[in-house]
């Protein structure tokens, strides 16, 4: 069977897919609202990045919303 060149090959089951939502980078009020164990947004940002890098080695990541909230640009 000939594959159409515009169509992507289906993802195989051996790939690691990770879904996440509501990290709320830069959202100070989420710490209190959701009882997160951080003293501020910088501590939360660094902890989330460290845990992500330590615990995840996915091939595909699907972020399902509320990634960040800030009026300023932030970098890792």
The model's pLDDT over 17-26, given as tens digits with 9 standing for 90+, comes to 778 888 888 8
Examine residue 30 and state whether it is found in any structural domain, yes or no: yes
| Contacting residues for 10 by C-beta, under 8 A, at least 6 apart | none
Instruction: With cut-offs at 50, 70 and 90, classify the pLDDT of residue 60.
Output: confident
Domain count, the chain: 1
49-54 CB contacts, 8 Å cutoff, 24+ apart: 49/76
Written as six digits, the tokens of 12 are 């195989």
Examine residue 4 and state whether it is found in any structural domain, yes or no: no
Report the pLDDT averaged over residues 7-14. 56
Instruction: With cut-offs at 50, 70 and 90, classify the pLDDT of residue 1.
Output: very low
Examine residue 73 and state whether it is found in any structural domain, yes or no: no
Examine residue 49 and state whether it is found in any structural domain, yes or no: yes
**Residue 55 structural domain:** 17-63
Q: How far apart are CA 28 and CA 70, in angstroms?
A: 9
Examine residue 52 and state whether it is found in any structural domain, yes or no: yes
Examine residue 9 and state whether it is found in any structural domain, yes or no: no
């Amino acid at each position: 069977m000939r594959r159409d060149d515009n169509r992507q090959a289906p993802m195989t089951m051996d790939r690691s897919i990770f879904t996440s939502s509501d990290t709320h980078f830069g959202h100070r009020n989420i710490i209190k609202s959701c009882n997160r164990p951080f003293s501020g947004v910088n501590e939360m940002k660094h902890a989330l990045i460290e845990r992500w890098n330590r615990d995840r080695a996915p091939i595909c990541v699907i972020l399902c919303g509320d990634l960040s909230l800030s009026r300023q640009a932030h970098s890792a």
